[in-house]
Structure 1
Amino acid sequence: MNLTEHYNKLYNQSIEKIREGNVLTDKLINDENDKRRGLTVLIRPSEDIKKRIQHFQGEMSNIDNQQYYQPISDMHITVLSIISCYDGFDLSQVNIPNYVHLIKESIRNTPKISLQFKGISTSREAVMVQGFPLNDNLESLRNRLRSNFKATSLQQSIDARYTTSTAHITTARFRKQIKHPEKYAELLENYRNVDFGHFKPEAVELVYNDWYQKTHIVETLFKAHL
């Protein structure tokens, strides 16, 4: 299944549920006792793309401001989740220089990654901007990271939940039932094919993060230019 088919499947499975107000709410977004933490390799979208997404979020918020709209500072594209967030994980449990060394080796001589963001997709839990790699370099980097980490005894849970293959940016999460579901769904349909722009990432980061990549929790452990 290619990315377009994947995004279409997600959208088609969820948009009518959203229109009916039948969404799955996340009760942990504002829970200060949520201690799920992990390690993630990610890239940040360009300022232009973030601003276009922020405009889209503003339109969603005008219809329903009680949902969680990811702050512009938190927007990201996951390259690979090295350790998926779980309750109790702490940096003291791992040797970060070993992880940094492997990431340095993996990104060495990485050709330029190019990404396009066009249209939106949905699930019953969230709204995301669709990301499409314009070359094979992101997938090649992911595969080098997979291979290098799985050849070690370092703690990792790569692909344990699912195999990362998309390049989306999550823009909204449902934390309450939608106030005006039909109007909300109509807006989402209007953004189904909107072009948010394209860019070539200039850096990759290794971060210690919570489930939502909240800036006040995230700790950047390593950053390298691509």
Structure 2
Amino acid sequence: MNLSQHYDQLYIASSKLILEGNYKLDNQITNPSDTRFGITLLIRPSEAIKAAIHTLINDLAAIEPLQYFYPSSDIHITVMSIISCYEGFTLNKIKIEDYIEIITKTLIDLDSITIKFKGITASPSAIMLQGFPTDDSLNNFRNKLRENFKKSNLEQSIDSRYTISTAHSTIMRFQEKLQNPTELVKILEKYRTYDFGEFEVRNLELVYNDWYQREENTIHLADFIL
């Protein structure tokens, strides 16, 4: 996949929908009865990257204060949704040691991963940072994870919603009607090609998480040092 082209196409289509008022609201963010949980292997950006992201979030919040913004603690890149969030999933349904074993085995051949955050894109319901791996290490690792999990008998739903191939990071979700869609798109244009920085991934995290990766609902399961 050509990531630049993919992000561009997504932005062009979604910014048009935003301006036309055809964006989508997420009505589950404030739902206390939301029981969608899953297991995710993820990457956390460096503190320097998070500081750069914070400037963007401040600009967005000044225009659209009623929307949902990811706090620094929750910003992440999904390596793989091993069990995609679904209602009623709990940790007592699986043996987490088996999942750790497969990930550890897959990590043996992993080269270092470096990710560059440059520019923003959008979906009909969210704003995302554009992440670009600097080589094929992340994709190769994902493919080996797919292969190893599909060989196992463990519960998993890898690629059930979509085949993950990007390295984006969601920073804002639409939860209320937009107050200033035109001004919002102006902010997006300002950051469309902004260089947020580059970082080398030091470790991967395996977590039990809700749909939004909120820290208060996350259980840390394992660290994998690279």
Tell me if both proteins adopt one fold, taking TM over 0.5 as the criterion.
yes
Instruction: For residue 19 of structure 1, report the CA deviation from its aligned partner.
Output: 2.0
Instruction: For residue 20 of structure 1, report the CA deviation from its aligned partner.
Output: 3.0
| 1:194 aligned onto 2:194 | yes
| 1:11 aligned onto 2:15 | no
Query: 1:55 — aligned with what?
Result: 55
Query: 1:107 — aligned with what?
Result: 107
Query: 1:169 — aligned with what?
Result: 169
So what's the TM-score if we normalise by structure 2? 0.98
Is the CA contact (8 Å cut-off) linking 1:130 and 1:168 kept in structure 2?
A: yes
Could you tell me which amino acid in structure 1 is paired with residue 189 of structure 2? Answer: E
C-alpha distance in structure 2 between counterparts of 1:38 and 1:171, whole Å:
20
Is the CA contact (8 Å cut-off) linking 1:23 and 1:177 kept in structure 2?
A: no
Q: Secondary structure at the match of 1:216?
A: helix
C-alpha distance in structure 1 between counterparts of 2:32 and 2:23, whole Å:
23
Uncovered stretches (5+) of structure 1, i.e. residues with no partner:
none
Instruction: For residue 21 of structure 1, report the CA deviation from its aligned partner.
Output: 3.2
Cα RMSD over matched residues? 0.8
State the percentage of identical aligned residues.
46
Q: Secondary structure at the match of 1:162?
A: coil
C-alpha distance in structure 1 between counterparts of 2:63 and 2:161, whole Å:
33
Query: 2:181 — aligned with what?
Result: 181
Matching of residues 1-226 of structure 1 within 5 Å: 1-226=1-226
Instruction: For residue 108 of structure 1, report the CA deviation from its aligned partner.
Output: 1.8
For residues 55-79 of structure 1, give each alpha carbon's deviation from its aligned partner in whole angstroms, at most 9, with x where no partner exists: 1000000011100010100000000
C-alpha distance in structure 2 between counterparts of 1:117 and 1:19, whole Å:
25
Instruction: For residue 109 of structure 1, report the CA deviation from its aligned partner.
Output: 4.0
C-alpha distance in structure 1 between counterparts of 2:83 and 2:153, whole Å:
13
Figure out how many residues of one structure are paired with residues of the other and give that number: 226
For residues 92-136 of structure 1, give each alpha carbon's deviation from its aligned partner in whole angstroms, at most 9, with x where no partner exists: 100100001001111124211011100000011000000001011
Could you tell me which amino acid in structure 1 is paired with residue 133 of structure 2? Answer: P
For residues 7-43 of structure 1, give each alpha carbon's deviation from its aligned partner in whole angstroms, at most 9, with x where no partner exists: 0111111102212333200001111110000000001
Q: Secondary structure at the match of 1:156?
A: coil
